[in-house]
Structures are given as C-alpha cells and as structure tokens.
C-alpha cells in the first residue's frame, strides 16, 4: 500500500492468536464491514481492507497492533476519517487507538491551525513565556458582569480571556451583547496597558446559526473563537477554522467517553492532539494532570508532543492545560510544560485578591520569574483589517484578485473580461452563445456568480435542468425563456427566476439582433443534467 | 424550577454521602462550572445550576440520581443540550446517563422525524409487518456492482436498501454515480414488482459538501438518506432532517464509547433513542442483541421504547436492529420486537442462494409467516416531485411564492414590486434612496438576493461596512461608489464589487438625474456596521 494511514491500536486479548484475530477483524470491520472469511476480489483485499503491519505484546494481555489503511478510503474528509478510525469498533470492546500517522498527501488536504504557536505569539507580541488565559463565568451572569471580569483580567496583564464553553446565545445573556461588551473592554484595557489581550467568544450553536455567530464576532474584531468540536461536529470545526482568519481554541467537551477506560477509546494525544490540530485548533484545551479530571502525566506529555511536533506542513498548536494550577505550582508547570503553553487558570486567580486585576498581575509576575519574557509590538489582527482573500470559503487562487470596478465599454464588453465559450463538453446542444464571467471566479467573497451571456439571432442555450436556480436580467435585445411547459418573452430589465429542477432554455428566435442577459447563480452549484 | 429537563444519572459511589456529593458536583460542573462552595447569587443558584430531585440506592454501590435543569440554559439547541447533559462530565468517571425527560416546551422546538413509523408505512404501502432492509457493500465495489445488489434485493421484494455507512464520495465510486445508478434500478424493479423499494444513500461528507449531496439525492428522487450523527455532528443531522422532506436513517458510528462500560456514558436508549429521534431520525440503527456487538436484551427493549413511545408531538421512529438475524430466529425477532421494526440483514441474505433476489424472497416469505401483511398503494414521494418550497433551507413563508417572470415597466418599475424605504432604524445617515426587492424574499432557492436601488440627485446611501460583499450593476444615470479611500464613477452596465469590511457608500452627486443600480448580496448576511 503506498502512503497509507497507519493506526496503532492497543488490544486487550488473552494471547497472540486472539490478538491477531481481533486485528484482522478490525481490518474488515472498518472498511468493507464483512466477516473476514467473506470472499472478496483481490483488488479489494489489496486496496480497500486494512492490512496488519505488526502485532507485539506490550504488557500482560495487552498487544499493540499496527494497521495500515489506504488514504483514499477516507475520501479526504474528517467525518469519514473518524469513521475509518473508530466508527463501528467504538461499539466493540477493548480496542483503543493509541497512535496514528498520516501520509503527507493526506495532511496536505488540510489547512490546520491558522496561527499556531508562532502566529499567536506574533499576534500578542509575547515571546519566551507561557500565555495566561482565563474563562468568563458563571453562566447566568449578565454581559456587563462578564465584561467586568474580562476588563480586570486584561488590565492585570493577562493574555487571553475566553467565554466559558457553556455560554451560548442565551435569553439572559445574548451572544451579540456579550461579544460587543467584552471586545470593547479588552480594547480599552489595551489602550492603558499597551499590551493586547484577546477576547475569545464561545461559538456553540446549531448548524443554521454557527457561521453567523463567527461572522459577527470576526466582523466586530474578535481575533478568535472557542469551539467544542465534539459538540458542533468535527468537520464544522474544521470548516470554521479553514474559512475565517481566526485563532481557534478547541474545548474537549463530550470527548471524555474516549478516556474513561485505558482499554477503550481514542487516546487524548490522538483525539485532542493530532485530530483537533488537523481540524485547525491553534490551541487545544485539556484537563491538566492533578486537576479535577483524570489525565495522567504521560498522557499530558504525549498530548503536548502531538500538538507541537512536526505534522506535515501544519503549524504547531498550543497545549492549554486547564485546572489544578496555582501560584505555588507554577515552577512545576514551567518545568513540565515549557514556554509554549497556555495556562488556563480559573479559581486561583480570584482567590488571591478581591480585585481580579491584582490576582492576574501576581500570576503574571510569578510566570516572569521562571521565564525570560520578550515583548514585541502585536501584529495587526486579521479580523479587523481583513483582506478579501482571507476569509473566503474557497475558490481563491493566488494570482487572481477581485476587481472593485469593472468598466463597461463598447458593444456590451467590459474591460479585462473576455467572452468565453458557453460550455465545454459535447453532450449538450446549443448554438451561437457566449459567456462573460464578471464576478465570482476571482476570489470575490460572494455566495453567487454574476455572468453575462449573449445569444445571436437563431441561437439558443442548452435545454437542461439542475438543482441550482437561475436569476436572469435581460439587458440587450429580446429573447425567450422556456421553463418547463411555459415560455416567457424577456425584454430589457425584465427579470426571470428558474426554479430548481425546471427544464429550461434561453432562445433568440426573434429578429431584434443580439439577445444579452445577466445570469446570477449560486457560487456552489450542481452540474446541469439533460432533461429526462 | 418550571418545566425543567430531568436527567437520570447512575452514579457508582461507596455510600449515600459520596453519591450526594457527586450529584451536587454535577449540578455545578454542567452549568456554572465552578466549585460547589463558590459564592453565587441567589438568582443563579435558583435558575441556572442544576437541582437534585432525589437520589436512591439501586444496587450495591450504585445510585440513581435525578437532577433537573432549566430548559432555557440549553439555548434550545442540540449542541448545548449535549454539553449540559454530558460535556464536561464525560471526562469524569463513573457517571452514566440512563434517562432524560424533556418538557413539552423544549420538545416543541424540534421537528423530529419527518415521516416516522406511519409516514414510512404510507410511503411504502406496507402495514402489519416489519420492513426488510439491507446494506450495499463492500466499499471498493463499483457503482454498477452495488446497483446490481440493490436491483436483486428490490426484485426479491425487499423494502429498503441503503448504502453501507462507509461508502462516501470515493475516487473509485462517486456519490453521484452510485446514487443515480441505484435509484434507477430500484425504480425499474418497482415497475416489475408493483412494490416500492427505497434506496437510501449514505451522506457522509464535510460541512461544505454535505448539503449539496442531500440536494443531489433528493433532486434525483431519493426518498431518504443515511447519516451518522456522531460523525457529521448531531445538529448537522437535525438540520438536514428539518430542511429536506426525507426519511432519515441514523447510524450509530462513533457513539460506542458511551456503551463500553456500564458505569459510564450515555445509555443507548437515551442517545440512539430519544436524542437521535429529537434530531429527526425516522429510523435508528443499532446493534441487535446476539449480533457481533454487545447490546443486552434490556438495552434493546428500552431503546425500542424510546423510539416508539410518546415524546411530545414527535412522530414515533422505527428501531432497526442490525446483525445476528437469520432465517431461523425470525420467530424470536417477531416476538421480541413486534411489527414496527426494520430488520437490517446482511450476510444471511447472501448465504441462502447465489441469487440475492431469491434469498430476499425467502426472507420476505418467512416474515409473512409471523405477521399479517397489508399492502396499500405507496404514497407519492416528496423527493421526486419537489416544489421549490420543499427543499429550501429557510426563509419561506406560506403566502409568498417565487415569480418566474418579473416584467419591467415604465420609469424603472417592475410589475408587482413596490419601492420600499431604503433602511429602517435611525442610527444611519442616508438621503433620497429607495429599495426594490426583486429576488430572494419570496422563497426563491437562491444563495443571493437581487435588489434595485435608486438615488435621487444629491442623495446617498449610508456610509457603512459589513462582512458580506456587494456586487453592483449600474443601469440608470451616473453615480459614485466610495470604497475606503477610493471613489469610482459608475455608468450604465459598469459593475462594482465591494469587498468585506470595506467602508462604502453610493452617492448621486451629479446632475444626470436618477442614479439606479442593481445590488446583489449573499442571502445570508451580517448586519451593516457604522464605520469606526
């Protein structure tokens, strides 16, 4: 198998024969989902089913099994990656994923963290020490109360203040009000301290709302968002990270069923480390050793490595251990985690002084004792001065840039826009029609494309149907729209709408010269079909 | 607390005092995420933190604890529901969710299954017996090979043939080709058998692609889809079910970490039953008792009840036990599960005869022995004769219908389109400008809106910025676009693009009469901001 994905499983089995059988079952269960004795074609057993690389005894009744999978079977997408890794076998017992290695070809399909450790440092202008972060809480506090906490933390010199991951768009504290108030206070604090403190809102919402919330936050100057990939869906997380120029902090909510039993689940270093980084986490929050949850020191170390070590061309991410940190163990934290870490501290900040800005200051000073801080000017935030290319959902090439002004000239032509052939591919019948791509193919951030078509006398477009709709504005001459069993005569500035799956055609059957029209379509759209 | 959500936990604790402490911890951890001794305002302890209703010993070191939560804290959305139910405590040990009850007010926010048991029966025209389903596999087979299996199953009288949940849009078997071929063969079989067999494609794709795939399948006549809510995100599943007129089969991939240990996780009846039904599953697939996975008989019974019993106004769903079924245990299955069940059978169908249609026929006959089948004419499929309103993602009102032809008349006016005030709300400054909503507000399935604006001499639009972009086509008179520090003179058929977050304004400073222009914007867009 060329360039496979290699997964390391830990299997709890009585003996080597049982371990081998369990591994073989996995290779079929996770791919063809058939019994291992099912007669399969050779091309399937060669290229589709997983292949055992090696199995070794690592402890009493514990075996490490390495299985490789063809990267193609993932369809190069994260939901199917999760499926191949652990979809069905999650329902079986005593199979744990302890490691995964991806070929470069697979990693290159993913953008990964937008900022990573170096990008966040440049954004903050802070080098040589860990960053200090805290969470706004409790749920039930007003936006003003939460903003007051953010303000005190920022004035005390803290680096990142995030929403608690349970703060959503509540009737008693709306997302928008919280975001506006908190962004305002951290900006105001920055004016005084000369240092930047990032406010990172929690974006936890349904499929319909989540992208709106990100747009709102980014549009109002937020440099990042907090997301819980297992609550919103791993690929929703990836999509948001890939399409907005933001710092992404990932929260581990709902992942814990993987970590309950050492013989079962996906290890923290794989799930909260490699996979969350692949999905674009600049920061991965996890329960610190010694806190109120249960990760071991070894788990924490492996997780830090998965976040920081080389992973194709993906930027290294910050680990953000949470819980169990206090003034008197910062020296241990420093020795254990090193500088490229975000300390996420809650209660301990409050316990030091009634004024949170004082508690924050005390912590910052303590951190300074163990590290050599270097301070630079913060880099510009993308969120506030974003270029049109930065927040696009796709389709941008480095060479194309949107034009702001496309000047109309003689004979229905625009400067810099060349008429193109109407359609390539031979199955459709059409005649004497040209296409001008005006907006949408040059990295414009539009959900639609604007084109101009011209049909000569006697010409016509192909008779076709598709799920996407057309909006047509006639601007030159006269033409006819055929739409299912009806036909409509279009004159200048008449507008037409072609509903989904309606068989349609544009025709110039008249003697009024050229028929020209704008046609607006969804940017993402299906390919036309021949009518049936 | 009025109309709370009530969650039943099973806690593994040494004694009653420890169980009480553990329950109290949960009430804080899942809401305010603070230690239980943290001083909170009374309104927060009354309305935000969970409240213990009762705790009782149910077995040696096992306690059942009932905790109620205010429904408001869910923000009425599923990601936050998962978060409140099990977000952080998933990372703790020995806490299992064994039941959940929702107030009607909460349930009413969710559409639930589109068809449910009765709707699917009407669609099939089959009453009085379980339905027989199978899965297309293996991954690696071509679309034609898979379609041949679908054809044989349909010709044998089977009811539902679904993709295996590992079939995605693969380079070696594309989603579109598979869907078109399989839909075609089941239609052709129906012409012969006079019975309907549903082909249900697997929709497992990234955030960017998944809705396109559903549109394609529905647009080509698929009556339903297979989804794995934990792979794509629970709310992505809900969104697809709520916005497309489809039968939704839910697959349990990746949920199994909840079921590994009886002391931990969310019980199958809650997760695959109540929660998947809430998210819109018409059918919930789960590992049958006695199959190669590990659900107990009691689990299966509870799960069936959660799917079929009353749940507010939500339609009852079909349980679809998979695995472990063969000809010789259909009598047991019949007694155990009753008629409102979908038997999902794989290998056993093939083992009976080389011709799958024969094996299917044998199974159907066997099922008929134990049940009294009633056959009716199948109901029309929504998917094949979809109106433009049926597959829209939102924004449609019952009274508005899209116009196909909007006729242009005198003085730059369109039939049936009234000029409107440019903008309501007093914070923005603008002058002598009107707006005509041409396309997008009447249920058109467009990702964009088309409007026409006119500015009188000396008039101007508000100076503003937003994340969404503008595309402008000048069609009347002459005007000026201010965009950041630049200005552009727009003459008829000039086109302009305003990039994200660029401060802009349209002005008519000339003496050339009215300045009129089309303006195209994304249908989903953020609200304008004052420039800062």
B39: CATH: 3.30.70.150
What percent of chain A clears pLDDT 70, i.e. is strictly above it? Answer: 94
Interface test with A, best of B254, B384, B392, B481 (most A CBs within 10 A): B254
Reference A165, options A217, A246, A236, A231; nearest CA is A231
Beta bridge partners of residue A162, listed in sequence order: A135, A200
A512/A94: higher pLDDT: A94
B247/A466: higher pLDDT: B247
Q: For tokens 């003085």, name the residue.
A: B411
- Whether chain B has a CB inside 8 Å of the CB on A40: the answer is yes
Q: Which residue of B has its CA nearest to A219?
A: B467
A294 and A182 in a common domain: yes
CB contact under 8 A, A44 and B255: no
User: For B48, which of A139, A414, A523 is closest by C-beta distance?
Assistant: A139
The pLDDT of residue B401: 61
A118 three-class SS: helix
User: For B500, which of A165, A228, A386 is closest by C-beta distance?
Assistant: A386
Q: Which residue of A has its CA nearest to B86?
A: A254
Segment B165-222, tens digit of pLDDT? 999 999 999 999 999 999 999 999 999 999 999 999 999 999 989 999 999 999 899 9
- Whether chain A has a CB inside 8 Å of the CB on B394: the answer is yes
Segment B276-310, tens digit of pLDDT? 999 999 999 999 887 666 688 889 999 999 999 99
pLDDT of A400 > 90? The answer is no
Please, what is the Cα angle at B218 between A85 and B375, to 5 degrees?
A: 100
pLDDT of B359 > 80? The answer is yes
Domain presence at residue B466: yes
- Whether chain B has a CB inside 8 Å of the CB on A1: the answer is no
Please list, in sequence order, all residues whose beta carbon lies within 8 angstroms of the beta carbon of residue A424, skipping any fewer than 6 positions away. Answer: none
Segment A500-524, tens digit of pLDDT? 888 999 999 988 899 999 999 988 7
Average pLDDT over residues B19-39: 94
In whole angstroms, what is the distance from residue A495 CA to residue A501 CA?
19
Segment A261-271, tens digit of pLDDT? 999 999 999 99
- Whether chain B has a CB inside 8 Å of the CB on A30: the answer is yes
Residue B213 corresponds to which tokens in the numbers above?
A: 């795939």
The whole domain housing A183 covers 116-224+244-254+278-305+314-376
B231 in Cβ contact with A83 (< 8 Å) = yes
CA distance A309 to chain B (A): 25
- Pick the last residue of a domain from B107, B140, B167: B107
Q: What is the pTM of this model?
A: 0.74
B346: CATH: 3.20.20.110
A519 is catalytic: yes
pLDDT of B84 > 90? The answer is yes
Question: Phi, psi (5° rounding) for residue B29?
Answer: -60, -40
The pLDDT of residue B324: 76
pLDDT of B400 > 50? The answer is no
Segment B103-153, tens digit of pLDDT? 999 999 999 999 999 999 999 999 889 999 999 999 999 999 999 999 999
User: For B79, which of A75, A205, A450 is closest by C-beta distance?
Assistant: A205
Domain presence at residue A268: no
CB contact under 8 A, B439 and A293: no
A450: chain B residues, CB-CB within 8 Å: 471, 473, 495, 520
Average pLDDT over residues A98-119: 95
CB contact under 8 A, A294 and B91: yes
Domain presence at residue B229: no
Which residue in A173, A474, A483, A519 is the catalytic one? A519
The pLDDT of residue A385: 30
- B 495-514 residues inside an 8 A Cβ radius of A: 495-501
Residue B242 corresponds to which tokens in the numbers above?
A: 């709520």
- Pick the last residue of a domain from B107, B126, B145: B107
**Mean per-residue pLDDT over chain A, rounded:** 90
CB contact under 8 A, A208 and B84: no
B274 three-class SS: helix
CA distance A372 to chain B (A): 33
Domain presence at residue B31: yes
CB contact under 8 A, B405 and A500: no
What percent of chain A clears pLDDT 90, i.e. is strictly above it? Answer: 73
User: For A231, which of B33, B82, B256 is closest by C-beta distance?
Assistant: B82
Segment A282-337, tens digit of pLDDT? 999 999 887 666 688 889 999 999 999 999 999 999 999 998 788 888 888 888 88
Beta bridge partners of residue B342, listed in sequence order: B131
Segment B450-465, tens digit of pLDDT? 999 999 999 999 999 8
In whole angstroms, what is the distance from residue A78 CA to residue A470 CA?
32
CA A19 to the chain's CA centroid: 37
Size of interface A-B (CB pairs under 8 A): 429
A242/A387: higher pLDDT: A242
- Whether chain B has a CB inside 8 Å of the CB on A212: the answer is yes
- Which residue stretches of B108-233 are H helix? 116-124, 143-155, 175-193, 210-219, 229-232
Which residue in B13, B182, B474, B519 is the catalytic one? B519
User: For B75, which of A86, A168, A256 is closest by C-beta distance?
Assistant: A168
B363 and B511 in a common domain: no
pLDDT of B396 > 90? The answer is no
Q: What is the dihedral of CA B114, B119, B121, B125, to 10 degrees?
A: -120
A90: chain B residues, CB-CB within 8 Å: 253-257
- Whether chain A has a CB inside 8 Å of the CB on B37: the answer is no
B497: chain A residues, CB-CB within 8 Å: 402-406, 439, 444, 446
What total number of domains does chain A contain? 3
B468: chain A residues, CB-CB within 8 Å: 445
Interface test with B, best of A50, A95, A138 (most B CBs within 10 A): A138
A472 and A354 in a common domain: no
Minimum mean pLDDT among A73-87, A129-143, B236-250, B432-446: which range?
B432-446
Give the confidence band of B394 by pLDDT, cuts at 50, 70, 90: very low
Minimum mean pLDDT among A10-14, A58-62, B83-87, B423-427: which range?
B423-427
CA B299 to the chain's CA centroid: 25
**Mean per-residue pLDDT over chain B, rounded:** 90
- Whether chain A has a CB inside 8 Å of the CB on B30: the answer is yes
Q: Which residue of B has its CA nearest to A450?
A: B471
Average pLDDT over residues B484-492: 93
A146 and A85 in a common domain: no
Domain presence at residue B437: yes
The pLDDT of residue B86: 97
CA distance A446 to chain B (A): 6
The pLDDT of residue A375: 85
Reference A71, options A84, A89, A54; nearest CA is A84
Give the confidence band of B382 by pLDDT, cuts at 50, 70, 90: low
B293 and B195 in a common domain: yes
Domain presence at residue B517: yes
The pLDDT of residue B291: 67
A363 and A322 in a common domain: yes
Residue A394 corresponds to which tokens in the numbers above?
A: 């796709």
The pLDDT of residue B404: 85
Domain presence at residue B197: yes
Q: How many CA atoms lie within 13 A of B426 on its CB side?
A: 0
B228: chain A residues, CB-CB within 8 Å: 79, 83, 87
Minimum mean pLDDT among A321-335, A380-394, B260-274: which range?
A380-394
B12 and B46 in a common domain: yes
CB contact under 8 A, B48 and A79: no
The pLDDT of residue B443: 66
A514: CATH: 2.60.120.10
- Pick the last residue of a domain from B322, B352, B376: B376
Complex confidence, ipTM: 0.73
Domain presence at residue A57: yes
B137 and B16 in a common domain: no
The pLDDT of residue B493: 95
Minimum mean pLDDT among A52-61, A379-388, B381-390: which range?
B381-390
Q: Which residue of B has its CA nearest to A73?
A: B170
CB contact under 8 A, A168 and B77: yes
A323 and A206 in a common domain: yes
B148 and B88 in a common domain: no
B360 and B338 in a common domain: yes
A286 and A155 in a common domain: yes
The pLDDT of residue A45: 94
- Whether chain A has a CB inside 8 Å of the CB on B173: the answer is no
Q: Which residue of B has its CA nearest to A85?
A: B254
CB contact under 8 A, A75 and B205: yes
């Amino acid at each position: 198998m060329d360039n496979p994905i290699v997964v390391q499983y830990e299997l709890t089995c009585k003996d080597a024969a049982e371990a081998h059988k369990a591994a073989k079952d996995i290779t079929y269960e996770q791919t063809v989902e058939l019994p291992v004795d099912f007669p399969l074609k050779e091309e399937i057993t060669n290229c589709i089913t997983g292949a055992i690389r090696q199995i070794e005894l690592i402890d009493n009744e514990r075996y490490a099994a390495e299985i490789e999978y063809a990267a193609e079977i993932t369809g190069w997408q994260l939901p199917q990656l999760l499926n191949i890794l652990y979809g069905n076998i999650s329902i079986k017992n005593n199979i744990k994923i302890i490691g995964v290695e991806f070929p470069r070809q697979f990693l290159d399909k993913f953008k990964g963290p937008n900022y990573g450790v170096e990008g966040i440092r440049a954004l903050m202008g802070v080098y040589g020490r860990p960053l200090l972060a805290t969470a706004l809480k409790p749920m039930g506090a007003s936006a003003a109360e939460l903003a007051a906490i953010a303000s005190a933390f920022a004035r005390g010199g803290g680096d990142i203040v995030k929403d608690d991951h349970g703060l959503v768009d509540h009737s008693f504290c709306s997302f928008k009000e919280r975001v506006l108030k908190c962004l305002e206070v951290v900006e105001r604090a920055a004016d005084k301290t000369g240092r930047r403190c990032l406010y990172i809102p929690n974006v936890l919402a349904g499929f319909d709302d989540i992208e709106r919330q990100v747009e709102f936050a980014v549009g109002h100057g937020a440099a990042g968002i907090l997301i819980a990939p297992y609550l919103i869906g791993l690929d929703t997380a990836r999509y948001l990270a890939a399409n907005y120029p933001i710092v992404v902090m990932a929260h581990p909510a709902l992942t814990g069923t993987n970590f309950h039993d050492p013989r079962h689940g996906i290890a923290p270093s794989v799930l909260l480390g490699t996979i969350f980084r692949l999905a674009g986490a600049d920061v991965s929050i996890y329960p610190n050793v010694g806190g109120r949850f249960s990760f071991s020191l070894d788990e924490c170390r492996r997780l830090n490595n998965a976040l920081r070590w080389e992973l194709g061309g993906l930027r290294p991410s910050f680990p953000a251990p949470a819980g169990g940190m206090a003034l008197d163990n910062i020296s241990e934290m420093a020795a254990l985690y090193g500088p490229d870490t975000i300390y996420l501290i809650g209660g301990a900040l409050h316990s030091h002084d009634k004024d949170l800005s004082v508690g924050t200051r005390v912590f910052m000073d303590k951190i300074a004792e163990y590290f050599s801080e270097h301070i630079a000017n913060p880099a510009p935030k993308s969120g506030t001065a974003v270029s049109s290319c930065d927040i696009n959902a796709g389709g941008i090439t480095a060479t194309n840039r949107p034009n702001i002004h496309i000047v109309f000239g003689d004979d229905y032509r625009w400067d810099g826009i060349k008429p193109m052939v109407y359609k390539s591919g031979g199955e459709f019948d059409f005649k004497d029609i040209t296409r001008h791509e005006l907006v949408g193919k040059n990295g414009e951030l539009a959900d639609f494309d604007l084109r101009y078509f011209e049909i000569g006398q006697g010409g016509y477009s192909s008779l076709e149907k598709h799920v996407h709709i057309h909006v047509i504005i006639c601007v030159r001459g006269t033409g006819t729209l055929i739409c299912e069993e009806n036909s409509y005569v279009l004159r200048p500035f008449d507008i037409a709408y072609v509903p989904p799956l309606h068989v349609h055609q544009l025709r110039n059957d008249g003697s009024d010269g050229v028929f020209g029209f704008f046609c607006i379509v969804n940017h993402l759209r299906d390919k036309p079909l021949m009518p049936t």
